[in-house]
Amino acid sequence: MISYNLYCKKNDMKNPWIDIENILSLIAKNPNISDLHLSSGECISYRLNWEIIREESAGKMTAEWMELILRQLFHWNPQRFDKFLWDKESDFAYIAKDETAYRVNAYLKTWRVGIVMRKIGKEAKKLEDIMFNNIANSIRENILKKKKWLYLVTWPTGSWKSTSLVAMLEEINKSRSENLITIEDPIEYVFEPKKCIVSQREIGHDTWSFANALRSAMRQDPDIIFVGEIRDKETAEAVLNLAETGHLVFSTLHTNSASHTINRFISFFPPDIQWSVAERLSDALIGIQSQVLVKSIDASTRVWIFELMLNTQSVKTNIKKRDVDQIDSIIETSNMIWMITLKQYAENLINKGIISANDVEWILNKNSTKI
């Protein structure tokens, strides 16, 4: 059980396995390590590609060690630690001394501390590093050069949506002299202003909620706005309003296809206004990108598979009619090179020898007629 009265200072630490910077130094240099797992009663563990590796040499973490580590992650701020005890969980970002960024989730389990840290990295990836060149060019021409509308990046947790969005926003930061505002929970990548003015706001630190921050953003002369996640009606309404009033808006949803994303967005609203929301969304939406990570054929790294939908006239018509089941076939049979399904993208990777068909069987079993 957590010792509520334990107050530890930096000078009290002599065991290297209590020093979070020492622990992070062991994993920071390996690009294939994605997540660090720390838990009372367990060995230090990390995810190397797809496998959980246990660092047996460190022994099992004690409750006191875990409290020390968490206090370090909170920069020895007792108020943050007390709030964690009250909330029983906390999401936040941590920048290590080597400037590697981590997204941290701390939580209680049977009154003991557990921590998972996902490595974000120091530098933004280029779009070509994570997707085929023609898809990267499509996003660059059809999304990143636009002055308004809404672009959604989707998939459940663990698909590195943030990595894709950071790559897009960094291109905008380098190429457009405009005002970029991000609203995140937590901030995962710190942008250095280049051509853009950049304002990054973190939920719980700089603002109380996505909805509050979005209402405020309307008075901050924004051009581009990134909203970390759409979680409720208030945020969905604010995002839609911004896109309708001449702003380029990026956000995420935990959905796994374009059709599912459209249905999910509309479902945030009461049934009596969902038809009008569908019409508004059909006009405000510019595209939807769904993505999933799979292992490479030699299991040495992770590879993205993408679905990309752009809001063509036929897509727009089906959104207005709420006949979204037809959208999958519109993407699949489109003659435009910048629209692609998960299956089509996966088959291209298989043909190039990058991934194995066995690892994406669930994608390949989807009905499809062409690459």
Position 336 scores a pLDDT of 65
Residues 131, 110 share a domain? no
From 66, 98, 121, the end of a domain falls on 121
By DSSP bridging, strand 112-121 and strand 101-109 are antiparallel
Contacts of 326 (CB under 8 A, 6+ apart): 318
Give burial (CB, 10 Å; 0-12/13-18/19+) of 108: middle
Comparing CA positions, the residue from 282, 367, 288 lying closest to residue 333 is 367
Residues 184, 156 share a domain? yes
Burial 257-282 (b: 16+ CB within 10 A, else e): bbbbbbbbbbebbeeeebeebbebbb
Q: Which two structure tokens, joined as six digits, stand for 54?
A: 């246990």
Position 5 scores a pLDDT of 39
Half-sphere exposure of 235 (CA within 13 A, CB side): 21
Position 191 scores a pLDDT of 94
Asked whether the beta carbons of 321 and 287 are under 8 A apart, the reply is no
Position 371 scores a pLDDT of 30
Asked whether the beta carbons of 355 and 294 are under 8 A apart, the reply is yes
Residue 300 belongs to what domain range?
A: 127-364
Q: Does position 348 have pLDDT exceeding 90, yes or no? A: yes
CATH of the domain at 46: 3.30.450.90
Residues 248, 100 share a domain? no
Most confident residue range from 39-43, 52-56, 148-152, 335-339: 148-152
Position 176 scores a pLDDT of 96
> What is the SS3 assignment for 346?
helix
pLDDT-derived band at 363 (thresholds 50, 70, 90) equals confident
Strands in 9-63 per DSSP E: 33-39, 43-48, 51-60
Residues 276, 220 share a domain? yes
Position 136 scores a pLDDT of 92
Mean pLDDT, the chain, whole residue set: 89
Position 147 scores a pLDDT of 93
In one-letter notation, the amino acid at residue 351 is N
pLDDT per residue as tens digits for the range 102-119: 999 999 998 889 999 998
Position 30 scores a pLDDT of 85
Residues 199, 332 share a domain? yes
Asked whether the beta carbons of 40 and 61 are under 8 A apart, the reply is yes
**Distance in angstroms (rounded) separating the CA atoms of residues 143 and 311:** 11
> What is the SS3 assignment for 154?
strand
In a domain? residue 5: no
Q: Does position 151 have pLDDT exceeding 90, yes or no? A: yes
Position 8 scores a pLDDT of 45
pLDDT-derived band at 3 (thresholds 50, 70, 90) equals very low
Residues 147, 61 share a domain? no
Residues 230, 167 share a domain? yes
Q: Does position 193 have pLDDT exceeding 50, yes or no? A: yes
Range 347-357 average pLDDT? 94
Residue with tokens 């790559």: 167
Position 277 scores a pLDDT of 98
**Distance in angstroms (rounded) separating the CA atoms of residues 197 and 176:** 10
Give the C-alpha distances (Å, rounded to integers) separating 358 from 236, 298, 303, 305.
38, 13, 14, 14
Position 186 scores a pLDDT of 86
In a domain? residue 369: no
In a domain? residue 37: yes
From 102, 121, 140, the end of a domain falls on 121
pLDDT-derived band at 9 (thresholds 50, 70, 90) equals very low
Judge if the upstream peptide bond of residue 16 is cis by omega within 30 degrees of 0: no
- Pick the more confident residue, 187 or 272: 272
Position 7 scores a pLDDT of 42
In a domain? residue 221: yes
From 64, 88, 121, the end of a domain falls on 121
Comparing CA positions, the residue from 361, 301, 305 lying closest to residue 159 is 305
Residue with tokens 């947790």: 157
**Distance in angstroms (rounded) separating the CA atoms of residues 93 and 118:** 9
pLDDT-derived band at 55 (thresholds 50, 70, 90) equals confident
Most confident residue range from 2-16, 202-216, 230-244: 230-244
Q: Does position 368 have pLDDT exceeding 60, yes or no? A: no
H/E element holding 212? Answer: helix 210-217
**Distance in angstroms (rounded) separating the CA atoms of residues 274 and 256:** 21
Comparing CA positions, the residue from 89, 68, 63 lying closest to residue 23 is 68
Q: Does position 1 have pLDDT exceeding 50, yes or no? A: no
Q: Does position 279 have pLDDT exceeding 70, yes or no? A: yes
Q: How many domains does the chain have?
A: 2
Half-sphere exposure of 74 (CA within 13 A, CB side): 24
CATH of the domain at 355: 3.40.50.300
In a domain? residue 1: no
Position 274 scores a pLDDT of 97
Asked whether the beta carbons of 306 and 357 are under 8 A apart, the reply is no
Annotate 104-145 with DSSP letters as a single string: EEEEEETTEEEEEEEEEESSPPPHHHHS-HHHHHHHIIIIIT
Position 13 scores a pLDDT of 53
